[in-house]
Structure 1
């Protein structure tokens, strides 16, 4: 009130605020300077750009997101850096898989039996999103505990893998599949226990046709792509006393299995498409 009183005594008659300068105008020169800084160092921060240019912190932020349409993302973790030979082998396996699918159709997919192993816990801890909840400032903090793994043989043992193939897999196939064993296509990834001599001997003795798997490609295995994440998502936050209770909740819809095989095909197509694009870009770099 005292400020307004002093202003009216000074001759001001309007009750509205004075016009302000507003946000600084963003020129093409500002955009070019920030773009050059980003091209020189992709890990530079907004504060560092602000200190090296004549733009404010907020202006730098708006230019990066609105003008340059850029986001700051973390590097994606991958389990293995593939060599050129392994990349070529991956593309070859994907092309072979797709050609056979186009030739035989869905019958080819229904002949496939894919096998893999994973750890199952009596208690699987929830993810951060699953354990989140609304709280007031005075609410106590939530806690979650580590997964409690089952005790026993390690799932990476080649002898255990051979036993599972001879006993459990054959029993399940005789019970649930009408396809003959000789007409079955066997698929598994390239884990050490699967590449072991004992496991390979068991597969040949059972008479399976083996479907090749690309090296170090868990994203091209239906078990790692769909089955294990879906199964563990159902089990998260649940406590079990023994293994028998796990079997009661581990049933998954058969339609979901078929959808995972279609995702498998789409990922193989993506692998082949990316390899052709990289090849064309390489030719352009050589002859450009």
Structure 2
């Protein structure tokens, strides 16, 4: 049987009622629980308590040692310090308040209910007008792409330009390896600002990739190149895959970069009868190539070293075509959900998708 304080006190009470003395009771307890038997003074103290009329065997509630560090005044001071500088550490807070690190932890976590979180990176500081425009365009999109709406996601072709390096560093989490205390850490080459890279233009739809164009070395995209080299590839693919459908069914989506909005580009789209879908200002979170495809491709080729542009282009094409069509379709469904989320938060940038 497990020893308990209440059981021991009940035995003392019972034997005392039978006329036994404190020394006799303690001697009996020693025979059964030699390691946990209370002292003679404790047994005598309980007998005196029972004689005075005590019947409760449990310990009475005690206030305990008064708290001298975690007080209301200290908590208020901690709050003011954090409000002044939200980046302060617990160690600095403990030194500033002249309390222990544990007390500082208790004040911040248990009293103030605060947790330190990383700041969120955002692409742009949006104005109220830009937030309103994001919401407006998302509403237009959702209205036109309803199940019975005038437009279908299967007719949308979206794409953009992306710099891809000949060597892309893997993220820090992917580089973690198990090592012993004495094992040296492996070295990973960090991608530098001047690393070799080439500008790719990639377009895709809900079924898969449409075209991949590689810019010549030491050059960047212009409206002339965009209309002469890139967009004709998009039209050619559409003509080959859906020859019976008119070009007016092609819904083109790209961001608001200068070559995309240039007069030459707009004139070309009008001549070809292509419908250009609006894109909200400063909204990579609402562009499938930015929130899904480009990060996916860069992650797939991370850690691989390329020496020739032919090898890099071949690998990018291979990775694009290895993605199942179901994932391309899921990306467009996620696009819809992102628009709904943008409306819910009033045009602000959002997380968790």
**Same fold at TM > 0.5:** yes
| Runs of 4+ deviating beyond 6 Å | none
Alignment match, 2:163: 119
Alignment match, 1:270: 341
Alignment match, 1:80: 124
Quickly say closer, same or farther: Cα 1:201–1:142, change in 2 above 3 A: same
Alignment match, 2:254: 188
Whether the aligned pair in 2 keeps the contact of 1:225 and 1:260 (CA below 8 Å) is no
Alignment match, 1:131: 175
SS at match of 2:346: helix
Quickly say closer, same or farther: Cα 1:166–1:211, change in 2 above 3 A: closer
Q: Calculate the TM-score normalised by the size of structure 1.
A: 0.77
Q: Equivalents in 2 of 1:154, 1:228: separation in Å?
A: 20
> Could you list the runs of 5+ residues in structure 2 that have no partner in the other structure?
1-34, 37-64, 199-215, 349-353
Q: Equivalents in 2 of 1:105, 1:257: separation in Å?
A: 21
Pair 1:198 & 2:264 matched: yes
Root-mean-square deviation over aligned CA pairs: 3.0
Alignment match, 2:9: none
Q: Equivalents in 2 of 1:118, 1:71: separation in Å?
A: 37
Q: Calculate the TM-score normalised by the size of structure 2.
A: 0.64
Which structure carries more helix by proportion? 1
Whether the aligned pair in 1 keeps the contact of 2:78 and 2:93 (CA below 8 Å) is yes
Q: Equivalents in 2 of 1:35, 1:181: separation in Å?
A: 62
SS at match of 2:276: strand
Quickly say closer, same or farther: Cα 1:274–1:166, change in 2 above 3 A: closer
Pair 1:172 & 2:237 matched: yes
Alignment match, 1:93: 137
The one of 209, 227, 237 aligned to 1:162: 227
Deviations 1:84-115 (A, max 9, x none): 22222111111111222335369621121112
Deviations 1:70-89 (A, max 9, x none): 22234333232222222221
Deviation at 1:258, TM superposition (A): 1.7
Q: Equivalents in 2 of 1:27, 1:157: separation in Å?
A: 65
Alignment match, 1:149: 197
SS at match of 2:281: coil
Deviation at 1:245, TM superposition (A): 4.2
Pair 1:250 & 2:320 matched: yes
Q: Which has the higher contact order (CA 8 A, sep 6+)?
A: 1
> Could you list the runs of 5+ residues in structure 1 that have no partner in the other structure?
1-13, 16-20, 278-288
Quickly say closer, same or farther: Cα 1:176–1:237, change in 2 above 3 A: farther
Alignment match, 2:207: none
Pair 1:46 & 2:90 matched: yes
Alignment match, 1:284: none
